[in-house]
Amino acid sequence: AKADGRGTFRFFEEGMNRAVHARLQLEQELRRGIAQGEFVLHYQPQHDLATKEIRSYEALLRWQHPRHGLVGPDTFITVAEETGLIEPLGRWVMQQACRDAARWLPPLKVSVNLSPAQFRSGDIVAMVAEALEAADLEPDRLELEITESLLLNHTETTLSTLSRLKAMGVRIAMDDFGTGYSSLAYLWQFPFDKLKIDRSFIGNLNVDRNVDAIVAAIIGLGHSLGMTVTAEGVEVEEQAKFLESHACHEIQGFLYGTPAPYAGLLAGPRPDPKR
Ligand code: C2E
Ligand code: CA
Ligand code: CA
Ligand code: CA
């Protein structure tokens, strides 16, 4: 039994070493990739459901890796957050997104994701102000997407930081709405401009009547609070129909536009939501 235990431990330790090693390797690769400028932004449209016009493009980070090809954020964002590399990376995202948006026709906006780690390190208000200034972009053309996890801990400083950003004229959206533990408490504490209904709900529209009721209620809540409501992850026509019948303001999803490089937005034919 003793030998077994040691064997198990050794195996566990080896597995752990491998995981630590892989993480260190990813961290080194991230440093290299940031220095080499290997990151790119893809943009996904958010359509107004009533007019079919594009209101905003969400910037979604991609890593054009020399050996692994185009890598999505889910593989590296967590390590970037844990190592502090999210600070230079997030700064680059903000600057690039503002530069790109400055070339779009107003009132088209750009939506940028912020992780809680970015609020903890450095002065995020100054970082945003500098990016707007450098790109000569009006603050109301920038929308910041934050998640409930940001508000979970550092509530007071976070709320005052959000208030300062809002006072600058930047819009604040709550992303992945409905997935946290106390979504409603946060709505009461901070006047968000937009609610983005998480795609886990949208994926079950017209399948589960409870989900239909929840989505309808969130839309109604957004209306009452004077917030724009955006549905994420709309993949099929029936979902768009449901949302339209409940007067959801905006939709985002593969149905009307997948994330694409900046060049593709202007060169290629715009997705036609009416078709
Ligand atoms: P998110 O903010 O919830 O972004 C939406 C994600 O859903 C994107 O994944 C997008 O490609 C995907 N998506 C859009 N429409 C559909 C659809 O119809 N069906 C399905 N199944 N998926 C859809 P992506 O680009 O892999 O990004 C994943 C997450 O990484 C984002 O989730 C966001 O939390 C984070 N992220 C992306 N870019 C940045 C960034 O620049 N900074 C930070 N801090 N986080 C980022
Ligand atoms: Ca988002
Ligand atoms: Ca989301
Ligand atoms: Ca998400």
pLDDT in tens, 152-192: 876 788 899 999 999 999 999 999 998 877 678 888 888 99
CA dihedral 219, 221, 226, 229 (to 10 degrees): -30
pTM of the model: 0.92
Please tell me the residue having the least CA distance from ligand 1 atom 15. 253
233 C-beta closer than 6 A to ligand 1: yes
Ligand nearest to the CA of 46: 1
Residues 6+ apart with CB under 8 A from 12: none
Please give the distance, rounded to the nearest whole angstrom, from the Cα atom of residue 44 to the centre of ligand 3.
Answer: 12
User: Any idea what the Cα angle at residue 128 is, between residues 252 and 70, rounded to 5°?
Assistant: 50
253 C-beta closer than 6 A to ligand 1: yes
Burial class (CB in 10 A: 0-12, 13-18, 19+), 248: buried
Consecutive H or E run containing 252: none
10 or 96, which is more confident? 96
Asked whether this complex has an ipTM greater than 0.95, the answer is yes
| Tens digits of residue pLDDT in 239-249 | 999 999 999 99
Summary mean pLDDT of the chain = 90
Ligand nearest to the CA of 259: 1
Please tell me the residue having the least CA distance from ligand 1 atom 22. 233
Please tell me the residue having the least CA distance from ligand 1 atom 13. 233
72 C-beta closer than 6 A to ligand 1: yes
